Chains A and B, each alone.
Chain A
Amino acid sequence: MPHSGVQLGLDRQGGVRVQCGSTDIGQGSDSILAYIVAEVLGIDPFDIRVLTADTDLTPVDLGSYSSRVTLMTGNAALQAAERARELLTIAVAEKLSVPLENLSFAERRVFDVENPEVGVTFSEAVVLAESKFGTIGTVGSYTPPRSPGKFKGAGVGPSPAYSYSAAVAEVDVDPETGIVTVERVWIGHDIGQSINPMLVMGQVEGGVYMGLGEALMEEMTYRANRNVVHKFPSLLEYKSPTTLEMCDVRTYLIEDADPNGPFGAKEVGQGPLLPVMPAVANAVYDAVGVRIDEVPITPEKVLTALRDKAKGKEGRFGPKSVPDTEWPQPLKVLTPDEGGDGREMPSVAVHS
């Protein structure tokens, strides 16, 4: 079953309507749809009307989560646009009497690459196609490949492409107060191909911002009694970084087109958040020699660890044990090295 679908409608006056179930949550997914369709059809992104996230008007999309939108709806949009281009190509080639493969789409025109002056405008191309085929509408959809794992749980997070991020955090720690100040974060993100580098950088830097909050300040905590009352359900007291706490960020986009992404694009929604918290924690150790093995790394925790260290103790703040737990029988899967094919092994009696 497709995880994303796109329907494309072409207007005789040259406009294009993209209908898609994905939701723009500020990350710019509506824009991504417009850029991809514009690229394929050789028109301006602002010639495109994007209509999204309406269950009456748009095909099913699983939603905007899991960093899935650019890859999945992008591929669906690419397929729909390529199908539309094919119809237009056939109609225009017939009209101009040029071979199909000679036609190119750019600058709102469809033209012969060998004689660029021989061509029609994009809206004329739509009229030709509509005269030939009837109303022009195409669809595209995307279904991720099946996970090579066939065991229970292998279906979590089906994606043909994963991105990587790396970060360096420059941190000042005041041993008197325990206050950790992040001066600068250097971060690289493996985007495949950015559809719009400005939006990608925005996501990377937003990820750093959120990561600093998680590393140093944010926590859902409850009063230490049996009532489980949230301590501070308000923007005033739930501490999150402001512009004053936000550090300088050096962002590097690493582009190596992925064969599975639309134009080689991968994800940027979630990855750049991940290296920030451990980088800050490791930097705190590098600075003052204490390990804070839990977030948020608050001044109290740093001071406690520093005092312990001064007394000759370990210099670590963090949990010391995990609860005793009875685990179910393991679901065993052989690794590829051991000749595994992704299936779980038949369960056998296990001696305990």
Chain B
Amino acid sequence: MDTNNGNKRKGKDKPLKVVGKPFRKVDARSKCTGQTRFADDIVLPRMLFAKLLRSHEPHARIKSIDTSKALALPGVLCVITGRDLPIPYGILPVSQDEHTLCIDKVRFIGDPVAAVAAIDEDTAFDAMNLIEVEYERLQTITNIEEALMVEEPRIHDYGDGGNVHKKVHLEFGDLDKGFAEADHVREDIFFYEGNTHLPMEQHAAVAHFDPDGKLTLWSSTQTPHYVHRALSKVLEMPAAHVRVIATPNGGGFGGKSDPFNHEVAVCELARRTGRPVKITLTREEVFYCHRGRHPVLMRIKTGVKKDGAVTAMDFESYLDGGAYGSYGVASTFYTGALQTVTYEVPRYRFRGVRVFTNKPPCGPKRGHGTPQPRFGLEIQLDKSPQTSRLIRQRCASNIWSSQTPSRPIIYASARWVLGHVLRKWSRALTGKTNIASCPLAKGWDWRAALTSAARGCRSTGTTCRTVACS
């Protein structure tokens, strides 16, 4: 590799025998030959199967639930509803707003209201369809604007007022002074649509109570210790009597980081029936569990000097949190936390708001709250002629010179990584091995130069390239 500063290495200063070498994974063979046992592969003697009845109303009060027909179905051993597990839980101490099964109201299509355990999956499915729930519809809150406007009905009775979950306002340095110093001020608005993790493996869990009353839950989770804490709380069991084993995980990307309804429900069903209980969610249910990327509306105002240096940045984010808190307070802070890490931003204001809506709850997905602002910020810097040309030019020309600019417009590590990629790329296009001679560093209009270089090797005039770094 290009450099390797061994002195900085933490660990023994001897030639490395294992670290840095492409050894196979310790579990590679069982994965490659399909022999890894995922949660859904677990089979225990006398095991029952569970299904969750999910709400088909987006926002409604539960007037009544009648489980008698389901219980009467041959093969059904147990049906539970919200009142059987009244203690709330949630991943963050500040938002303990979830119940295993909804008690008084449902908050999105897919919110679970009852759980069934039966001798097989088909019976559980049939029983689920025999449960009668009477709803009283409430007004739905469908997007960010509505959530900010509509005070009543509230989706939750906590938060920062109305349907606002959390508001944050942080200010670092004198913003007015920063914008006054700027030669150019640019303001843009961006929207990043929500998306989901799409792991190959659907969530699954198996619960088992041993005769001494100790519980074991095998689950496809990224956070067994958090699930352990939630189970102990909701089931009112001593922590020492609860064991959570995270099974080999068929992809998570953040989507298996919360304690989930189905995980608690199978434990309670196992406790009541005295038999092991398994649940495997359908793909449709995985979409309802969600906890994926927040849809975020952003306003970014940035002041820059003629040389491309940022003087001040004002950043606002509006997060559509969906129906529950999940990691949302952290997600909100994250949308504002990393703007100042890549470029030097001497003065910065962050205002963020997360709202509740009647949609599947959003949470952490790979990047957790940071891809959205990064998307907006990099486009804005590209739109501004000062930043797009000068930041990149400076970063390209400074990488290999020992001369340090008086003021780092872009931090050294970021500049270094960006420069490395640009050098490789321009070498491939221009055949030049020295970046100093490549159009990127030489000409003012590096983009035009590179695009023309690119045209030499491609026939289509619409082929274009661009850069972004984070």
Alpha-carbon separation in the docked complex, A233 to B290 (Å): 10
Q: Which 3 A-B pairs have the closest CB atoms?
A: A63-B223, A278-B378, A53-B246
**CB-based contact B148/A286 at 8 Å:** no
List, in ascending order, chain B residues with CB within 8 A of A65's CB. Answer: 222-223, 254, 257, 364, 368
**CB-based contact A62/B19 at 8 Å:** no
Alpha-carbon separation in the docked complex, A36 to B12 (Å): 11
Does B248 belong to the interface (CB within 8 Å)?
yes
**CB-based contact A199/B25 at 8 Å:** yes
- Which of A21, A54, A62 contacts B243 (CB under 8 A)? A54
Does A124 belong to the interface (CB within 8 Å)?
no
Alpha-carbon separation in the docked complex, A54 to B27 (Å): 17
**CB-based contact A333/B425 at 8 Å:** no
Does A104 belong to the interface (CB within 8 Å)?
yes
* 18 contacts across the A-B interface (CB closer than 8 A): A53-B246, A54-B244, A54-B246, A75-B10, A156-B337, A164-B416, A167-B467, A170-B454, A188-B424, A193-B19, A229-B109, A230-B109, A269-B366, A283-B466, A323-B149, A328-B167, A330-B169, A334-B172
List, in ascending order, chain A residues with CB within 8 A of B364's CB. Answer: 65-66
Name the residue among A151, A226, A284 with the largest chain B CB count within 10 angstroms: A226
Please give me the residue from chain A that is nearest to B331 by CB atom: A156
Name the residue among A39, A168, A172 with the largest chain B CB count within 10 angstroms: A168
Distance of A16 from chain B, by nearest CB (Å): 12
Does A205 belong to the interface (CB within 8 Å)?
no
A254-B420, A257-B4 are contacts. A233–B467 as well, Cβ < 8 Å? Answer: no
Does A99 belong to the interface (CB within 8 Å)?
no
**CB-based contact B167/A327 at 8 Å:** yes
Does B180 belong to the interface (CB within 8 Å)?
no
**CB-based contact B225/A62 at 8 Å:** yes
> Per-residue CB proximity of A37-76 to B under 8 Å, as 1/0?
0111010011010101111100011111110000000010
**CB-based contact A279/B257 at 8 Å:** no
List, in ascending order, chain B residues with CB within 8 A of A199's CB. Answer: 25
Instruction: Identify the stretch in B81-89, B187-195, B270-278 within 8 Å (CB) of chain A at 4 or more residues.
Output: B187-195
Does A294 belong to the interface (CB within 8 Å)?
yes
User: Which B144-184 residues sit within 8 Å CB-CB of chain A?
Assistant: 144-145, 148-149, 160, 167-174
User: Which B252-272 residues sit within 8 Å CB-CB of chain A?
Assistant: 252-254, 256-257
**CB-based contact A63/B1 at 8 Å:** no
* Range for the number of chain A residues in contact with chain B: 35 or more
Does A114 belong to the interface (CB within 8 Å)?
no
**CB-based contact B333/A156 at 8 Å:** yes
A35-B18, A325-B148 are contacts. A228–B330 as well, Cβ < 8 Å? Answer: no
Does B360 belong to the interface (CB within 8 Å)?
yes
Does A90 belong to the interface (CB within 8 Å)?
no
**CB-based contact B195/A53 at 8 Å:** no
Please give me the residue from chain A that is nearest to B353 by CB atom: A325
Instruction: Using A60-B225, A282-B382 as known contacts, list a sample of 11 further A-B pairs with CB atoms less than 8 Å apart, ordered by residue number in A.
Output: A35-B18, A39-B12, A55-B242, A56-B243, A254-B420, A256-B5, A257-B4, A274-B367, A287-B462, A331-B169, A337-B346
**CB-based contact B17/A190 at 8 Å:** no
**CB-based contact A228/B108 at 8 Å:** yes
**CB-based contact B468/A282 at 8 Å:** yes
Distance of B324 from chain A, by nearest CB (Å): 14
**CB-based contact B109/A254 at 8 Å:** no
**CB-based contact A25/B252 at 8 Å:** yes
**CB-based contact B466/A285 at 8 Å:** yes
Alpha-carbon separation in the docked complex, A274 to B378 (Å): 10
Distance of A287 from chain B, by nearest CB (Å): 4
List, in ascending order, chain A residues with CB within 8 A of B44's CB. Answer: none
Instruction: Identify the stretch in A7-15, A127-135, A211-219 within 8 Å (CB) of chain B at 4 or more residues.
Output: A211-219
Please give me the residue from chain B that is nearest to A197 by CB atom: B22
Alpha-carbon separation in the docked complex, A56 to B3 (Å): 43
Distance of A212 from chain B, by nearest CB (Å): 12
